[in-house]
Amino acid sequence: MSRRLALVASLLAFACSPSCGGEPAPIAPSPSPLLVTPPATKSTVAENAPAPPPWTPKPARFENPGGMWMPHQIAGHAAKLKELGLQIDPAALADPTSGVLSAVVSLGGCSASFVSPDGLIATNHHCATGALQHNSTPAQNLLEQGWLAKTRAEEKNNGPQARVFVTRSVTDVTPKVMDGIAKIEGDGQRFRTIEKRQKELVAACEKGRAGLRCSVASFYEGAQHFLVEQLEIRDVRLVWAPPSGVGNYGGEIDNWRWPRHTGDVSMFRAYVGKDGQPADFSPDNVPYHPPHFLKIAKEPLRENDLVFVAGYPARTSTLKTGAEVKEAITWGYPRRQKLYEDYLARLAEATNGDKEAQIRSTSYVRRFGNYLTNTKGQLEGLVKGGLAQDKERMEKELRAFVDADKERKAKYGTVLDDIGKEIDKNAAHREADAELRDELHLPKLMWAASVLVRMAEERAKPDADRDPDYQQRNWARQEQALEALATSYHRKVDEALLGLALERGARMPEKERSAGVAKVLGGKDTSSDAIKKAIARLYDGTTLADGKTRLELFRKGTTADLRKSKDPMIALALELRPLVKDAEDRQERLSGRMALLKPKYIEAMRAYRKEPFAPDANSTLRITYGTVRGYKPTPDAPPYRPFTTLSEVIAKDKGAPPFDVPARLKAAQAAKKTGPYVDETLGDVPVDFLADLHITGGNSGSATLNAKGELVGLVFDGNYEAMASDWVFVPSLTRSIHVDVRYIEWLLDAVDPGHALLKEMGVEPKVAQ
C-alpha cells in the first residue's frame, strides 16, 4: 500500500477511490451477453484487399467463463484442461518454478518469456517503446526503423529503469497482515498498521538475499495477502524489434480491432554479473541463463485448439457494486476520455515539425492513444451493455440472500450501503485530487521536484517509518528514474503537458479546482497569459533539467537545503507538498475503511456464489485458458475467421503510416520466400489469431502456449466489442488477439537477417537469405 504520487500510472485509473482496486468475479453470471457495437468507423481494410474467404466456424468445444487464475488454483481446473487436450502435467501450471511458469517473466508493465538458454526474451513490440525511444535520435529513429543486433556487442541498453522479474515463490501471509485489524480504531491508523506489517514482511524476505525483490500483494479486495518473491534482473538489452511498419502496423486505426495484421513482437536479452547475480548495466556483464525456457511449437495451431496465456495482468474490475459502476460511468471514464483527447491534441500541436520532441513524446502519445480507445470501449460496454442494470439486479439478489438468514443479515446486512457511502464521501475531493496528483505532476520536471522534496522529508525518518517508495531499498530505483530523464525529458513536451494541466484546472468550477493550480500560477489569474508566464518562469529558472543536479539533491538534499534554494520548481514543489499530503491522507483513510468493508463483501459473495472464482488482476502471475475461436461482432454479422494472413497484410499496404509495409517484407512475399510457414488450411502464412482468453493491460507480451506448453504466439490486444471484459467476461464476444509464432519465425527467417536468433531458439532456418 504505497502512498506515492500516482503520476502517469494513475491515469490508468478512473478515480483514486475504491474503484481503483481489483475485485473478484461478479456475484452471478450475467443473464445475457453484453453485446455492444463499436461506433461507425472507416473500414481499416485497404480498398484493394481481397475479400476474406468463406468460412464456417466449427462448433465451440468450450464456453470460457473467464478468470485470471493464480497458479495454485489451477489444480481445480485439471479435469477440464485434460478434457480440452492438455498434454502436460497440470502441476506444471501450478508451480511458479516449473519448467513452464519459471520461463514467464514480468517487465514491470508488460509480460514476456525466456525463449533460449542464453536469456533471450520474447515480448511485444509496443513493450519495447521505451527501449526504442531511449536509443533513438532524429538521425537514427529506431521507433520507425526498428533494430536487429547482429552480435551480442550490438545489443542496446534498454535504459536504467529496465527490469526483468522472475517469480520464485508466492506465499499466503494473510494472517500476518490482517489479524486483529478489525479491532484497530481509526481508518488512517488501520491503513498504517497494514502498511507497517507489509513492510516488515518485505524486509524479512529480502534480508541477506541480494538480487531478490519481495512484495506483498492484495487479493480479493484485501481479503487475502500473498508474499511474492522475485529475482530482479537490472541489465536488459534490446536485441530485435521490427520496423513500425510491422510492429505497429495499423497504428491507432486498427488498435483494439479485428481483423488485425500487426507483427507485435520484439526481443530483449537479460544480463547479470559474471558471478551470475543481478547487476546494473555493465559491458562486463554476461547473459543470464534461466533454469527453464519455452520451446517453439512445431505443430500448426488450429481453430478450437486449447491455448493458455501465462503473464502478469495489471488490473481488472470484475466485482463492482452499483455505486462503483455509477462512479465509473458518470465521472471516471468520461473524465479519462476527455483527458486523453486533450493531451493527444496538445502533444501533436506542441511537437509538430520537431523530430526530437516527437521522439521524446512517443511513449506519451502511444500510451494515451491506446488508453483512449480502451476507455471509449469500456464506457460504451458499460452503458450500452447494461452492466449498471445487471449490477443492480445482482445486488438485489445478494441483498435477498443476506436478508433471508438472520445470521447473514447481522454479519453482512449493511456492507453494500457502507461501501456506497464511502464512495460518495470521497467524491467531494476526487476531481481536485486527480488534478493535483495526476495532471500537475505529469510533466517530468514537476515530478522530479516532488521526488526531491519527498526524499528530503523521508530521509530524516528511520527507514522502517518511511513511505515504502522512499525506503532505502528503493533509493537506487528512484535515482535511476531521475537518471532516465536524460533521454525522456524534452522541455517543449514538458511545458505542453503543464500548460494543458493548468488550462484544464482553470476550466473547472472553483469548488472543484485544486488549490495547486493557484500555487503554480502564483495567484488567481487563470488567463492564458498568466499560464504562459508561470510556465516560462518555472522552466527558465529551474536547474532540474541537469542530471547531476537532480542526483546530487536526491542523495544529499535536506528540507532545510531545499527551502534555501532559488530554483522555482523546487519552491513550487515545497508549496504543493502540504496539498499532496492532504490528498494522501484522505486516500489512506479511505483504504483503511475499505480494509474492513471489502473483505466482508467478498465473504458475503463467496457464501452466495459457492463456486470458486478468480481474484482480479493485480500484476502478479496468472493463467487464463480457452480455445482458438472466431466471433460475431454483432448477432446478425457474419463470423470472423480466427486467423489473418500475410497476403492480407500486403493488401492493406498504402505506403504511408500506419499502413506502410517495409520494402524487404514485400519483396520476400513477392518472391514467395514463405518456406514451410504456410498453413495448409489457410493457404498462407498466418499473422495473428484470436482466442477466447481473459486478458487485460499488463498481459501484453504474455506467452501463448499450446497443449504441450510450447510457444504458439504472444498476446497483444483484445477486441473493441468486448472492452468491458475488465468488468464482465462474455464468452460469445470476448476475444484476445495474438501474433502467431509462425509469423515471428518468418520475419526472422525471410525478412530480417535473424537466422542466429532462430537457431538460438532451437529453430532451423528454412529460407535462404
CA-wise closest residue to 726 among 387, 329, 392, 378: 378
- For residues 239 and 152, give the distance between their C-alpha atoms in angstroms, rounded to a whole number: 8
700 is catalytic: yes
- For residues 227 and 181, give the distance between their C-alpha atoms in angstroms, rounded to a whole number: 18
Q: Are 211 and 204 in contact (CB under 8 A)?
A: no
Q: Choose, from 126, 261, 441, 738, the residue flagged as catalytic.
A: 126
DSSP 133-165: HHT--SSS-HHHH-EE-SSGGGPEE--TT--EE
**DSSP alpha helices (H): ranges in 59-178?**
78-83, 129-134, 142-145, 174-178
**Which residues, at least 6 apart from 471, have a Cβ–Cβ distance to it below 8 Å?**
199, 463
363 is catalytic: no
What is the gyration radius of the CA atoms in the chain, in angstroms? 26
Q: Choose, from 700, 702, 725, 736, the residue flagged as catalytic.
A: 700
Q: Are 64 and 307 in contact (CB under 8 A)?
A: no
- For residues 142 and 128, give the distance between their C-alpha atoms in angstroms, rounded to a whole number: 10
- For residues 16 and 570, give the distance between their C-alpha atoms in angstroms, rounded to a whole number: 26
126 is catalytic: yes
Q: Are 496 and 346 in contact (CB under 8 A)?
A: yes
Sign of the torsion angle spanned by Cα atoms 363, 368, 371, 372: negative
Give, rounded to a whole angstrom, the gap between the first and last alpha carbons of the chain: 53
Q: Are 529 and 506 in contact (CB under 8 A)?
A: no
Q: Which long-range contacts (CB under 8 A, 24 or more apart) does 418-421 make?
A: 418/597, 419/18, 419/321, 419/323, 419/324, 419/594, 419/597, 419/598, 419/601, 420/321, 420/322, 420/323
- For residues 122 and 714, give the distance between their C-alpha atoms in angstroms, rounded to a whole number: 8
Amino acid present at 379 = L
What are the start-end ranges of the E strands in 273-321?
286-287, 306-311
Number of H helices, E strands in the chain: 27, 18
* CA 702 vs CA 46, 383, 739: distances in Å: 30, 30, 11
DSSP 512-531: GS-HHHHHHHTSS--SHHHH
Q: Are 40 and 335 in contact (CB under 8 A)?
A: no
Q: Choose, from 235, 254, 264, 467, the residue flagged as catalytic.
A: 264
CA-wise closest residue to 441 among 586, 591, 590, 580: 580
Place of cell 481503483: 20
- For residues 265 and 694, give the distance between their C-alpha atoms in angstroms, rounded to a whole number: 20
Q: Active-site residues: which are they?
A: 126, 264, 700
